[in-house]
């Protein structure tokens, strides 16, 4: 196994690789956060929009889990012996 020396180059660190990937050292060091001060009404509107989006996301998650649970139940019922589910005389008191 070869040891890395200071003269060996690491992959994807050459200038042409960085340009191909679309990143430069300046871009990587900058924060992605927007730093300007926004008006209060804009911040409130963005928070409300995020709350609505989160509520929809959670609702969709619940619907998805209910559908998965129903599918599991249906598969379990279809694979079960019908005599265990509908015993003789189950519809008569």
Residue 55 has φ and ψ, to the nearest 5°, of -60, -45
Render pLDDT for 29-65 as a digit per residue (tens, 0 to 9): 665 777 788 999 999 999 999 999 999 999 999 999 9
pLDDT (average), residues 8-15: 60
Query: What average pLDDT does the structure give for the chain?
Result: 80
Asked whether the predicted pLDDT for residue 73 surpasses 70, the reply is: yes
- C-alpha 41/C-alpha 49 separation (Å) is 12
Asked whether the beta carbons of 51 and 57 are under 8 A apart, the reply is: no
Q: In the chain, what are the domain boundaries?
A: 15-82
Confidence label for 21 from pLDDT (cuts 50, 70 and 90)? low
Task: Provide the greatest CA pair distance for the chain.
Answer: 88
Question: Residue 83's pLDDT is what?
Answer: 83
Are residues 21 and 12 in contact, defined by beta-carbon separation less than 8 angstroms? yes
Residue 13's nearest CA partner among 25, 1, 27 is 25
């Amino acid at each position: 196994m070869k040891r890395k020396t200071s003269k060996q180059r690491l992959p994807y660190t050459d200038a042409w690789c960085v340009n191909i990937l679309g990143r430069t050292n300046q871009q990587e060091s900058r924060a992605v956060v927007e730093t300007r001060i926004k008006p209060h009404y804009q911040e409130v509107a963005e928070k409300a929009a995020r709350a609505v989006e989160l509520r929809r996301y959670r609702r969709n998650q619940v619907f998805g889990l209910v559908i998965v649970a129903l599918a599991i139940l249906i598969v379990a019922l279809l694979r079960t012996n019908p005599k265990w589910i509908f015993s003789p005389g189950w519809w008569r008191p």
